[in-house]
Structure 1
Amino acid sequence: MMKKNFRLFITSDIISQLGAGMILVALNWYIIDIYHSNSLIAIVANINVVAGMFISLIAMGVLKCINAKWLAISSYCFRIFFIVLALVLFKMNLDKKLAIYLLALSGGIGWNLYFPASKDILNSFTAEDNTLQINSFAEISMQVGLLAATLFSGILYRYVGFENILVIGIILFVSSLLIFSAVKYSKQNKIKVDEKVKLFPYLLKEKWLLLLGIVLYIPFIGTNVITTALPGYIKDHLSGNSINYGITDTMYGVGACLASFVLPFIVKYFNKEKLILFLFAFSIILGTVLSLNQKLSLAIGYIFLLGMVEPVIRTIMYTRTMQIVPSTLLGAIVAFWNFINLILQFFANYGVGKVMDEVGPQWGFIIYAGLMIVGSLIFMGIKKSYKTT
């Protein structure tokens, strides 16, 4: 039964990520294509972020007392509702910027309800000896969905148009919702947290976990910076088109899938903490090289390598988190970390959009490299607690 539920969960997750990724890639290219504005991409990203901050606070509270499956189902409903509303505005040729903002809300509300709830559900499938494998497989499922999305989105944008991509996205989310609804999930110990361990007293006692959350989420912020920077970088810096953009973004997913697949074998031979520091250093070098790059073919290769870096950091650190944090608090702590991440993401998005418009599109990757430097320094500061707790 558990294997069947896990298969259903992973299948629904792949389809969901396919829909979300396809709409995100197409939306970013639509903004560059029609409005020629990196700042507008950053504004859209920050609407997503602000909505996510609000939703993360809600998720932090409700995950302690309601079933995570119903929270995830509500995330699908919000996503579908806002995409349908945006599509109506586009079809009726009404306020197209409002439609763009509604799509940003769809991502902000939908993802930030779904992510902590899905981690709570994923935790129910794990045992002591399969945690890394389960997390690696979950990372693969996410990247497979995003990979397929980026592969097809640029081509679909060119030949069927943005509005039809929204129709496809709605169909994918509805399909994913139907499959996810078949997952059997019940949290056996879903009692009020104050009967066991309280969230904020626990975090005050284990203060280093606040910094762990920042390090864990810096790869997410880095991915978002790449997402914000890449359309302008491809179009204005490298003179590419939507298909070039789709292929380049696809290579990130190829790298991520490959890295997630080989990760369970790699960690048998390398010290995990040293591997994390190496990958942070490697990502800093890649960000710097991308800022200096002038060739589209090389950019594709560098983005592929970046795809191999960030999911590995996330997977290793999240696996360690599941070993450290009490299971009754895991969903709430992930939601709290997500809230902090969104605050940082807001400033990162704003900085990327402004700097790219005023200085040059390649500077988005300088900001990315700086972000990864911060992550490596924080990790070095908490390395002892991370290893021994």
Structure 2
Amino acid sequence: MKKQSNKIHKNFSYISLLVGQTVSEFGGAIGALCNSLLLYEITGSKAAMGTLWLTYFIPSLILQFFIGPFIDRISRKQIMFVSQFLRGIVFMLPFSLMLFDQAHPWSLFVIQLTLGMIQPLYVPASLAILPTLISKQQLTQANAFLDGVLRLMGFLAPPLGGLLISIIGVKWTYLLVGCLFFLSAVSIMKLNEKPVKNFTSKEPWLKLIAKGYVYFFSNKQLLWLGILTAFVQFAVGATIVINVPYIIDELNGNSFIYGLFMAGYPLGYFFGSMLVSKFQKFAQKNYIMLLGLLMGGTSFVLLGAIHYYPLAIVVEILSGLFFPFFGAQSVALYQKTVPNELVGQVFSVRLLIIRSTMPLGILFAGQLGDIIGVRYIYIIVGGLICLVASITLVFPYFRFLGNQTLINSNNTLEK
């Protein structure tokens, strides 16, 4: 096995993962843009747009319940490779149909259904594989840098994708997206994955599923980090509903201002991730992680009080700047403290919990937005995050958050 470099930018496997993930994120964002534009062009239906999203979300959430053991039972590199290859194939489907002027909405629903079934496999596998590529001391830095680059792609992809579609059209953009996923698959094949003993496990599937859930809920650090992240996802779900009316109606903006506002968070997150990466040891401190969460919650409250869109954009940038100190460190703590043969299952449980709270946030804002106003929605969800962050900062009980002690599969402690 190749020796792991002490610097992540010299680690070939990490760079291969970074390239594969970056290309995938960029291609996926452009592909989503193509799907939305093509479906609305064909149907002109807002209801169809909602159904397209549900086609992705529902099977993804159902599969998340029981797929965890699969991620720890075979090679995570193979899971990621097959996932990217399948993504490339399904994005070729509308391209092939459009070549013969046979564009149909069903092809877009096939894409969403396939992506929805791939996501519960790909995301936990991509998080679980990182500890097999680099040392534990590098995990916070590696997660921060990787997350920052992906957020940057989220910032760049929509405007570049829109420009690309206007130049070469949706059809050829689909071809490009498919090729980007194939390129991502090739990059992932270059990973030098360390073997995991559970890959050959013969335990019954239900027993492995139960083991992941029991491990997650019996470890108070993993459980509380999941709960804190769930509050953030609840807020994100709420803002999906209210961001547009906030900019257009409350701040008297337009579509261009809305684009700038939406770009603020990923831009800030990119620079915040660079700060986490640069000051890794400082960022790993318990109170820094929780202060990042507190400041992120404060940004939501500020949005509820702001009346000028330039200030709103600045607050979004600052929000993105602070949140990586919580996000990157909390993911790294999972990777450091969970045994490698269980990490895929545990990440799958975590993903199920935090993804379940996003539709609750959507429902909350959708039902109350017209009644109490979008400003109060921002204040409420931001206040919830500030409250739980303040509690974890003040109460001595929560000092275990940030503990990097490794707990092995037999629940004994190792330093």
CA contact (8 A) 1:60 1:336 kept: yes
- Letter paired with 1:184: N
CA contact (8 A) 2:94 2:103 kept: no
Distance in 2 separating the partners of 1:232 and 1:28: 20
- Aligned runs of 1:179-328 on 2, under 5 Å? 179-189=187-197, 190-192=199-201, 198-220=211-233, 222-223=235-236, 225-227=238-240, 229-231=242-244, 233-235=246-248, 237-238=250-251, 240=253, 242-266=255-279, 268-269=281-282, 272-328=285-341
- Aligned runs of 1:46-61 on 2, under 5 Å? 46-61=54-69
Does 61-70 or 290-299 show the bigger shift?
Answer: 290-299
Q: 1:270 to 1:67 in 2, by over 3 A?
A: closer
CA positional deviation for 1:82: 4.2
Q: 1:29 to 1:281 in 2, by over 3 A?
A: farther
- Letter paired with 1:384: R
- Aligned runs of 1:42-121 on 2, under 5 Å? 45-85=53-93, 92=102, 94-95=104-105, 101-121=109-129
Distance in 1 separating the partners of 2:386 and 2:334: 22
Q: 1:105 to 1:345 in 2, by over 3 A?
A: farther
CA positional deviation for 1:83: 3.6
CA positional deviation for 1:69: 1.3
CA positional deviation for 1:168: 3.6
Does 241-250 or 355-364 show the bigger shift?
Answer: 355-364
Does 25-34 or 122-131 show the bigger shift?
Answer: 25-34
CA positional deviation for 1:309: 2.4
Are 1:147 and 2:147 matched, yes or no?
no
**Number of aligned pairs?**
386
CA positional deviation for 1:305: 1.4
CA positional deviation for 1:123: 1.2
RMSD: 3.8
Distance in 2 separating the partners of 1:252 and 1:77: 30
Q: 1:138 to 1:36 in 2, by over 3 A?
A: same
In the other structure, the counterpart of 2:27 is: 19
Distance in 2 separating the partners of 1:166 and 1:365: 36
In the other structure, the counterpart of 1:384 is: 399
Which one has the largest radius of gyration? 2
Q: 1:193 to 1:119 in 2, by over 3 A?
A: farther
CA contact (8 A) 1:251 1:300 kept: yes
Q: 1:332 to 1:231 in 2, by over 3 A?
A: same
Distance in 2 separating the partners of 1:157 and 1:248: 22
CA positional deviation for 1:114: 1.2
CA contact (8 A) 1:14 1:141 kept: yes
| Identical amino acids, percent of aligned pairs | 18
Higher relative contact order (CA 8 A, sep 6+): 1
Distance in 1 separating the partners of 2:338 and 2:147: 20
TM-score, normalised relative to structure 2: 0.77
CA contact (8 A) 1:42 1:352 kept: no
Unpaired runs of 5+ residues, structure 2, are: 5-10, 406-415
1:268-324 Cα offsets, whole Å, 9 max, x none, are 446722223322232222212223444333332222112112222111112222222
CA contact (8 A) 2:196 2:340 kept: no
1:24-56 Cα offsets, whole Å, 9 max, x none, are 46667889999796x887765554332222232
CA positional deviation for 1:155: 4.2
CA contact (8 A) 1:8 1:180 kept: yes
SS of 2:193's equivalent in the other structure is: coil
Does 202-211 or 85-94 show the bigger shift?
Answer: 85-94
Distance in 2 separating the partners of 1:228 and 1:191: 45
CA contact (8 A) 1:29 1:242 kept: no
In the other structure, the counterpart of 2:139 is: 131
- Letter paired with 2:226: G
Distance in 2 separating the partners of 1:36 and 1:306: 34
Distance in 2 separating the partners of 1:324 and 1:268: 17
CA positional deviation for 1:156: 4.4
Distance in 2 separating the partners of 1:363 and 1:22: 33
Could you tell me which of 165, 168, 171 is aligned with 2:179? 171
Unpaired runs of 5+ residues, structure 1, are: none
CA contact (8 A) 1:82 1:105 kept: no
1:103-134 Cα offsets, whole Å, 9 max, x none, are 54354333322111111211112213322222
